[in-house]
Amino acid sequence: MATIEEALEIERLERDIFRGASTKTQLPRTFGGQVAGQALVAAVRTVEPRYQVHSLHGYFLRPGNPDQPTVYLVERIRDGRSFCTRRVTGVQDGAAIFTMSASFHIGDQGPEHQDVMPEVQPPDELPDASTTMSPERLWAMREWEHWDIRTVPQDQVARRDGVVSQQQVWFRYRHPLPDDPLFHVCTLAYMSDMTLLGSSKVTHPDEQTQNASLDHAMWFLRPFRADDWLLYDQSSPSAGFGRALTGGKIFNREGQLVAAVVQEGLIRTLRD
């Protein structure tokens, strides 16, 4: 399947209009992480290099057709001395399938603190998901064959009082990536949509549901590399009315909190 370089490839058509590549996939609709990642790449292409993206907020409006490219329209909302903002709309067949606001910052000095990474089994002691996946789920490993994904067993997850549904996943890109920090940010935007909604299914493992991402927000807090191990510490504080709220903190192996994610997703019970 597609490499991350292929999945994030976009072509500039006009000053603020880009076309994202469609890639080979087994999915019936365009993977949300690919749309978010390509949209962020488009926004980055319109910003001076001294600005670094620090947050994005996106809405998945319609299912994308994976066999068609997506066109991204970038609006230059604000260019300030310290911050700039872009709005990106992904379009297929004349209809918006995704919209995103992204904010960029030059970086300043200020107080520093962060939550502590939970004690968790290191990735080297966990099996590669491609060796443990059930036969009916092996398609997922073929779809994302370039990612090394290792889920912490539920009986070994570091439990927090009052948190009802938790999941912890180590992941990294299997191959060396370019040194450009913004490429790693866009790669993480792609990856952050993967596995997160699954944290809402931990307490309902046998219930058959239809699942889809509805909205997605990320904050990029510290530098990182997506080809080094990252821990995705996930939880779902609420599910109901066919929707689930999920969130995740992403740590590097040294325990630095590098990103945070919040997502609401469709989790609708399938009826016979």
CA distance 249 to 38: 22
**In this model, does residue 136 exceed pLDDT 60?**
no
Length of the chain: 272
Task: Give the other-Cβ count within 10 Å of 106's Cβ.
Answer: 13
pLDDT, residue 207, reads: 87
Closest to 197 measured CA to CA, from 267, 143, 139: 267
Measure Cα distances from 57 to 82, 90, 223, 257, 260 in Å: 19, 14, 19, 19, 12
Percent of the chain surpassing pLDDT 70: 97
Mean per-residue pLDDT, 194-209: 90
pLDDT, residue 270, reads: 84
> Higher confidence at residue 54 or residue 127?
54
pLDDT, residue 135, reads: 59
Closest to 196 measured CA to CA, from 158, 161, 159, 233: 233
Active site amino acids: 193, 213, 263
Which are the contacts of 79, defined by CB distance < 8 A and separation ≥ 6?
Answer: none
CA-derived radius of gyration, the chain: 18
pLDDT, residue 110, reads: 94
CB 263 within 8 A of CB 235: no
Model confidence, pTM = 0.94
pLDDT, residue 105, reads: 97
CA distance 65 to 62: 9
> Higher confidence at residue 141 or residue 232?
232
CB 41 within 8 A of CB 202: no
257-269 and 209-220: which strand pairing?
antiparallel
Mean per-residue pLDDT, 143-172: 92
Q: Which pLDDT tens digit goes with each residue over 30-52?
A: 999 999 999 999 999 999 999 99
